[in-house]
A = this chain, B = another copy of it.
Amino acid sequence: MTAAANPTACLLVIGNEVLSGRTKDANINFLANRLGEIGIPLREVRIIPDVRATIIATVNEVRQKFDHVFTTGGIGPTHDDITSECVAGAFGVPWEPHPEAWARMERHYKPGEFNAARQRMATMPRGATLIDNAISIAPGFTMGNVHVMAGVPRIMQAMFESLAPTLAGGPPIASRAVHADGVMEGRIAEGLAAIQARWPDLDIGSYPYYRMGGGGVALVAKGNDPDAVEEAARAITVLLRAMGSHPVQGEPPA
């Protein structure tokens, strides 16, 4: 595994709508890529419902196990938005108006429109620091190692980009892909296992792809040591050529 030198991340996707199938999550893949880029690889994702006891127990479990926890969803103004008060519950601190969040939102709304429901969005665990929201004002927040963000992808992405520069990442993870049409996993498995054994610190992954008229396999080497990643990619290329195929650098075209 390559993660030893890197801080780790866990993502909690909070919302009944993803579990019921109403909504397709659009945040996992974005965060998986961006967290990899800043050297804080995503090690686990959990999608959990808007249930108080579940949110509190899950936050408390994963904030012990991972260096960073990111949450998406459940910080809007309606009754089913309970992430913020649950994070207060998980940390055992009061859930109270955050002066700076309150001031930003009061400035944003017309007189009389900063109502009780919207005031909930300015109510946070005591000790939270704000995550800016350039799209719709109402901020996210960081509490300890837990980063609480919106579920709407555009807003979540803006929040993440304002947060990312404040996070200390580990060394970047180097990655090389090679693919070859017409190769079946079952024929290269033995040779590939030997390559994995030769570079035990790398992650060597094998991913079949399917398309009209054929398909093949994409092989990916990842790790902190870019030279080892290059060498493993060369060994993979040799293996694929020995199968009579024509390996190509990079991922297969989408």
Q: How far is the CB of A57 from chain B (nearest CB, A)?
A: 11
Whether the pair A32, B51 counts as a contact (CB closer than 8 A) is no
The answer to whether A77 has its CB under 8 Å from any CB of chain B is yes
Which stretch in A20-28, A95-103, A224-232, A241-249 binds the other chain?
Answer: A20-28
Q: Give the distance to chain B from A62, nearest Cβ to Cβ, in Å.
A: 11
Size of the A side of the interface (Cβ < 8 Å), in residues, is 65
Copies of this chain, tallied across the complex: 2
Q: CB < 8 Å: which of B29, B117, B189, B251 contacts A117?
A: B189
- With the chains together, A20 CA to B76 CA distance in Å? 29
Interface residues of A in 4-43 (CB under 8 A from B): 13, 16-25, 28-30, 32-34, 36, 41-43
Residue of B nearest to A26 (CB): B24
Rounded to whole angstroms, the CA-CA distance of A203 and B49 in the bound complex is 11
A154 at interface, CB cutoff 8 A: yes
* Min C-beta distance of A129 to chain B, whole Å: 24
Question: A176 on the interface (CB 8 Å rule)?
Answer: no
Q: Which residue of B32, B46, B152 contacts A44 across the interface (Cβ within 8 Å)?
A: B46
A48 lies within 8 A of chain B by Cβ: yes
Known: A78-B189, A189-B117. A45 touches B32 (CB 8 A): no
Main SS at interface, chain A: mixed
A43: which B residues are within 8 A, CB to CB? Answer: 19, 49
| A63 CB-CB contact with B under 8 Å | no
Q: Which of chain B's residues has its CB closest to A119's CB?
A: B186
What does the 1/0 interface line of A189-218 toward B look like (CB < 8 Å)?
A: 110110010000001111110100000000
- Is the CB–CB distance between B47 and A210 below 8 Å? no
Q: Which residue on chain B has the smallest CB distance to residue A135?
A: B210
Give complex CA distance A35, B130 in Å.
38
Taking a contact as CB atoms under 8 Å apart, the answer to whether B24 and A206 are in contact is no
With known contacts A44-B47, A46-B45, A80–B206 Cβ distance under 8 A: yes
- Of the candidates B77, B152, B204, B251, the one whose C-beta lies within 8 Å of that of A210 is B152
Query: Does B45 lie within 8 Å of A115, measured CB to CB?
Result: no
Give chain B residues whose Cβ lies under 8 Å from the Cβ of A152: 208, 210
Tell me whether A126 is interfacial, beta carbon within 8 Å.
no
* CB atoms of B25 and A28 under 8 A apart: yes
CB distance from A122 to the nearest CB of B (A): 11
Contact A19 B46 (CB under 8 A): no
- Least CB distance, A139 to chain B, in whole angstroms: 15
Query: Which residue from chain B places its CB closest to the CB of A51 in the assembled complex?
Result: B1
